[in-house]
Amino acid sequence: MFQFIIRRILQTIPVLIGVSIIVFSMMHLVPGDPAQVIAGEGAPQEQIDNIRERLGLNDPLPKQYLDYVTNAVQGDLGTSMRSGRDVSSEIGARFWVTVELAFYSTVLAVFVGLIVGIISATRKYSAIDTILMLVALFGLSMPNFWLGLMLIQWFAIGIDLPSWVPFFSDTAWFSPSGWGSFSQVVLPVITLGTSSAAIIARMTRSSMLDVIGQDYIRTARAKGVKEQIVIYRHALKNALIPIVTVVGLQFGGLLGGAVLTESVFAINGMGKLIIDSIQARDFPVVQGTILVASLLFVFVNLLVDVAYRFLNKRIDLD
């Protein structure tokens, strides 16, 4: 097991090199002179030269890349053009906000998705199954920024409905912006987690249906095992194998979705940092944030692979 983890970590090295090359190239893929782009139109030549010197753009490309990687490995991602602070400290302050947002959303998505999927699978073709899968399809198709705005309107601002409408009369329960307190966390987590919950629910349903039809489930029943234990122990453990993969991939989607969600809810996370930095042409910060987000994604998928190992004994390590 230990060996497996070590090997799996080593395998991420080529991925990281690839990511660093792509992130590094961003600066050079923008049309025209990067220094000119950063300085903005009509900037004096002096300022452009100054930027070029500061970013080391006069060096040959391989040297620039090596410098970038060497510094990045040591935690130095450059300096923000906008604030003049270290990129790493800019990100550091917001990193945990995004990780928390993505983590809570994943937990919500897995929890809701599994329950809905299992209920649907064990009552297949019933009315409950049809309704749940319809809701899941709806949740899947909703753009999350729109869902975010709707949630803010209904549950943070409140809607003016005639007083005889029950339940929705005074529903401004949660905070529409910021991050930290419970009332601030609820809406963004629902916004971000909904589509993942829907995907996991659908995946769980089909995976469970497949497993429940297997011979070994009949064996368990013939042994006198209680139906709940057949479902939650014998079937779920097998059904989880494809679900875990989906959860890992969803996490990447959540990081992307966090960009929109953080903007809608004015949360100061990495997503909002990327948007702000792109708008301000603050390239070092954009590069640094993407690099960190990629690292996070690679790390989560590493965890998924390890979890996989525990579930599926047939994966050969050696």
Task: Identify which of residues 10 and 313 has a Cβ nearer to another protein in the complex.
Answer: 313
Q: Work out whether 208 is an interface residue with another protein (CB under 8 A).
A: no
Q: Work out whether 318 is an interface residue with another protein (CB under 8 A).
A: no
Residue 243 C-beta: closest distance to another protein, Å: 13
Q: How far apart are CA 188 and CA 173, in angstroms?
A: 14
Q: How far apart are CA 258 and CA 293, in angstroms?
A: 11
Residue 212 C-beta: closest distance to another protein, Å: 9
Residue 223 C-beta: closest distance to another protein, Å: 4
Q: Which two tokens stand for residue 214?
A: 């297997």
What contacts 24+ positions apart, CB below 8 Å, involve 211-216? 211/235, 211/238, 211/239, 212/121, 212/122, 214/238
User: Given candidates 77, 151, 152, 220, which one binds another protein under the rule CB under 8 A?
Assistant: 220
Q: How far apart are CA 30 and CA 293, in angstroms?
A: 21
Specify the stretch interacting with another protein by CB under 8 A; choose among 111-119, 201-209, 224-232, 277-285: 224-232
Q: Contacts with another protein in 229-288 (CB under 8 A)?
A: 234, 237-238
Residue 248 C-beta: closest distance to another protein, Å: 19
User: Given candidates 46, 141, 314, 318, which one binds another protein under the rule CB under 8 A?
Assistant: 314
Residue 251 C-beta: closest distance to another protein, Å: 24
Are 242 and 207 a contacting pair, CB within 8 Å?
yes
Specify the stretch interacting with another protein by CB under 8 A; choose among 152-160, 172-180, 208-216, 255-263: 208-216
Classified as helix, coil or strand, 79 is: strand
End-to-end CA distance of the chain: 10
Q: How far apart are CA 247 and CA 112, in angstroms?
A: 13
Task: Identify which of residues 126 and 177 has a Cβ nearer to another protein in the complex.
Answer: 126
Dihedral (Cα; 5, 9, 15, 17), 10-degree rounding: -170
**Contact footprint for another protein (CB under 8 A):** 214-216, 218-226, 234, 237-238, 311-314
